[in-house]
Amino acid sequence: MLQPKKTKFRKAFKGRIKGASKGGFELAFGEFGLKAMEPERITARQIEAARRAMTRHMKRAGRVWIRVFPDLPVSSKPAEVRMGSGKGSPEFWAARVAPGRIMFEIGGVDVDLAREALDLAAAKLPVRTRFVQRIVE
């Protein structure tokens, strides 16, 4: 699973994901992509599940690019623990995804296969998504 090798701080503030994506909203590598339509935190497990679903459906043909990286440590406290006594320990890693962000890209396969693969990947994610395609001129 994806996670940073080293971070400046062990725990992070929750924060809010506001506004549209500041970058990464255009296809850069492949011909097809999966674009997020709402703000959400996506965990490393969800990214990995989506990647597996795509590559399995494509039978390892073509190429997959992951355009998001889980660099946000999400902490939680154990069950049935009283209030106070500090912040919980980091449990998992997540990526903040703003609306308009391209999360996955696919290249080297036909449109139908790419659409099916990205639909399977979208089913693994907690955000509404849209299939995007490079405009051929």
User: Where do we find the tokens 């339509």?
Assistant: 37
Give the pLDDT confidence score for residue 137 in this predicted structure: 67
CA 109 to the chain's CA centroid: 21
Nearest to 35 by CA among 125, 103, 113: 103
Q: What is the pLDDT of residue 104?
A: 97
Domains of the chain with CATH codes? 32-75+90-133 (3.90.1170.10)
| pLDDT tens, per residue, the chain with 137 residues | 899 999 999 999 999 999 999 999 999 999 999 999 999 999 999 999 999 999 999 998 899 999 999 999 999 999 999 999 999 999 999 999 999 999 999 999 999 999 999 999 999 999 999 999 998 76
Residues 121, 126, 128, 134, Cα dihedral to 10°: -40
Go through 35-71 and write b for each residue having 16 or more CB atoms within 10 A of its CB, e for each that does not: bbeebbbbbbebbebbbebbbebbeeebebeebbebe
What is the token pair recorded at 120? Answer: 């399977």
pTM as predicted = 0.93
